[in-house]
Amino acid sequence: MDRVIIFDTTLRDGEQAAGGTLNVQEKLEIARQLEKLGVDVIEAGFPVTSPGDFEAVRLISQEVRTPSICVLTHANLKAVDDSWEAVKGAANPRIHIVLSSSDIHLFYQLRKSREEIIDMSCSTVAHARKYCDNIEFSAMDASRTEPEYIYQLLKAVIDAGATTVNVPDTVGYAMPPQFGDLIDGVFKNVPNIGSAVVSIHCHNDLGLAVANSLEAIKRGARQVECTINGIGERAGNASLEEIVMAIRTRSDFFNLTTNIDTTQIYRTSRLVSDLTGFQVQLNKAIVGGNAFRHSSGLHIDGMIKMPTTFEIMDPKSIGIPSSSLVLGKTSGRHAFRERLSELGYSLKDADLNRAFTVFKELADKKKDITDRDIESLVAEEQRTVSEDYHLKRIQVTCGDQGVPTAAVRLIGPDGKTKEDAALGTGPIDALYKAINRIVKVPNSLTEFTVKSVTEGIDAIGEVLIRIESDGVTYTGRGADTDIIVSSAKAYINALNRLIAARGKDS
């Protein structure tokens, strides 16, 4: 069977989603997980746009050796030189050059002629070829470009040395049959197309990113650009998990394979959601909380008799933990470690000890500890480990009769205890004001959400917040059975990220 190259752009287009900034360590963590997932190419960043992206690409190139590591660059020689500096340490580096092709972009944005675009594209591709022989060229807004011009442009860049040519539906405008015809046209009308891989990159503005990608694959495209959970600019990109599972589940239709270890999908999805702060909608295909939940009596009856009556995929094939096993107060370290490893975590001894202590504390408050509780607990541990400020204790009083009051004790970066208190319009307002009196970093809260990790009145409550400072958004998360404590943890997490980012810039 033919294989489709999975090009993951979670760390580049995915991170471009409004409010989705990741720091260097978080990008590295996601890149390691993408390697486990088995993607062929990781687009690790757009290094000329920020020093943070440059550093992330450099580190990922050094550490993540199996997939090809790709950098996106503008079509100018200096940008190619600078981008190469970030990716040159990779085992298999790729330079990805992007330039607009549609008249609407040429006329209003670039103010260049079609001939100038061909010249700029070819000279940059030829220049990049001096550094490496793995060069991708993207004709931005290809789906709104006159097809004859696309054929001409792709032929020219292949002659100049491009080894992958990408046909993006940049604004999510295409309809599947029409997009498929464009790909057919590329195969029929670009005489040297056999010397390059044809790629597609679809956005989801009309909810058609996956449909367009699959149609293009059906017509012969052999690289698909996609992101975990479909995150990305505006309405996002085509979702990796949906494309991969469609190719696998309907292999009778596609007769194609990928290199993806599908049992890593669920874990990758959770990691990306945790680190970006973008929650996965309940009814999202493949990885949504309801994707394998059956509710109607008729369906449940069928499922009991034979799961394939209502399930076209086995949840285990996506890595969704199968057992309904719950841990509790009496579960020992061994059972805890076993469960962690079944969930895909392999913690070092020190981390395991810390996580086990927190697990025991949680088991004192909550009778049944489920897989979701364990995931939340490990994520919480990983978050707090390298932070400047730590929460030591909080005391909050509130109600409909008095003035909400919060007292906070933190451990600062110098290891010293700092305390303060404040009044507020509500408990969170009082709490955040008390923290502000200690940390003193101006910011404004732009988003605050609470959700319970599992059912039940004793569930862990996860708080996700976003704060903004100097036009940059920082995400924070916290989890605890007490949502006021979760709120404090989330705020301190966001402040720590803000402080770490400032430290790097100064």
CB 73 within 8 A of CB 83: yes
CB 489 within 8 A of CB 469: no
Find the shortest distance in angstroms from Cβ 135 to ligand KIV.
Answer: 14
Closest among 267, 234, 265, 419 to 344, alpha carbons compared: 267
| Structure token pair of residue 204 | 């989801």
Map tokens 């990805």 to a residue.
96
Find the shortest distance in angstroms from Cβ 168 to ligand KIV.
Answer: 3
Q: Which of residues 62-81 bind ligand KIV (CB under 6 A)?
A: 72
Span near ligand KIV by CB under 6 A; candidates 32-40, 165-173, 258-266, 437-445? 165-173
Which of ligand KIV, Zn ion, none binds 276 (CB below 5-8 Å, type-dependent)? none
Find the shortest distance in angstroms from Cβ 202 to Zn ion.
Answer: 8
Closest among 20, 19, 99 to 11, alpha carbons compared: 20
**Number of amino acids touching ligand KIV (CB under 6 A):** 10
99/459 with CB nearer ligand KIV: 99
Closest among 20, 16, 6, 7 to 273, alpha carbons compared: 20
User: Applying CB under 6 A, which of residues 10, 143, 170, 276 lies at the interface with ligand KIV?
Assistant: 170
Q: Which residue is nearest to Zn ion (CB)?
A: 13
105 binds ligand KIV (CB under 6 A): no
CB 71 within 8 A of CB 57: yes
**Number of amino acids touching Zn ion (CB under 5 A):** 1
Span near ligand KIV by CB under 6 A; candidates 166-174, 285-293, 327-335, 381-389? 166-174
86/98 with CB nearer ligand KIV: 98
Find the shortest distance in angstroms from Cβ 173 to Zn ion.
Answer: 13
Find the shortest distance in angstroms from Cβ 24 to ligand KIV.
Answer: 21
13/215 with CB nearer Zn ion: 13
* Cα–Cα distance, 267 to 36 (Å, whole number): 10
* Cα–Cα distance, 21 to 27 (Å, whole number): 10
Instruction: Give the pairing of strands 5-8 and 41-45.
Output: parallel
276/384 with CB nearer ligand KIV: 276
CB within 8 A of 70, min separation 6: which ones?
7, 41, 42, 43, 44, 87, 93, 94, 95, 96, 136
146/419 with CB nearer ligand KIV: 146
Rg (CA), the chain: 25
| Structure token pair of residue 176 | 């599947």
Which of Zn ion, ligand KIV, none binds 138 (CB below 5-8 Å, type-dependent)? ligand KIV
**Could you give the string, one character per residue 5-24, with x where binding to Zn ion holds by CB under 5 A and - elsewhere?**
--------x-----------
Q: Is 147 left (phi over 0), alpha (psi -120 to 50) or beta?
A: alpha
User: Applying CB under 6 A, which of residues 140, 224, 327, 435 lies at the interface with ligand KIV?
Assistant: 140
Backbone angles phi, psi at 17, to 5 degrees: -60, 135
Q: Which of residues 11-30 bind ligand KIV (CB under 6 A)?
A: 13
Find the shortest distance in angstroms from Cβ 124 to Zn ion.
Answer: 19
Which of ligand KIV, Zn ion, none binds 27 (CB below 5-8 Å, type-dependent)? none
Other beta carbons within 10 angstroms of residue 300's beta carbon come to 12
13/53 with CB nearer Zn ion: 13
Other beta carbons within 10 angstroms of residue 313's beta carbon come to 17
Amino acid symbol at 53 = D
Closest among 205, 227, 204, 170 to 20, alpha carbons compared: 227
Q: According to the 3-state scheme, what is the secondary structure of 102-142?
A: CHHHHHHHHCCCHHHHHHHHHHHHHHHHCCCCCEEEEEECH
Three-state secondary structure call for residue 203: strand
* Cα–Cα distance, 455 to 140 (Å, whole number): 45
* Cα–Cα distance, 453 to 461 (Å, whole number): 6
106/140 with CB nearer ligand KIV: 140
Q: Which of residues 190-249 bind ligand KIV (CB under 6 A)?
A: 201, 203
User: Applying CB under 6 A, which of residues 102, 138, 164, 213 lies at the interface with ligand KIV?
Assistant: 138
Which of Zn ion, ligand KIV, none binds 166 (CB below 5-8 Å, type-dependent)? ligand KIV
Span near ligand KIV by CB under 6 A; candidates 111-119, 164-172, 273-281, 303-311? 164-172
Find the shortest distance in angstroms from Cβ 185 to ligand KIV.
Answer: 18
13/380 with CB nearer Zn ion: 13
Closest among 452, 55, 473 to 277, alpha carbons compared: 473
Sheet of 444-452, strands arranged across: 444-452, 461-469, 472-480
- Would you tell me which residues interact with Zn ion (CB under 5 A)? 13
- Would you tell me which residues interact with ligand KIV (CB under 6 A)? 13, 72, 98, 138, 140, 166, 168, 170, 201, 203
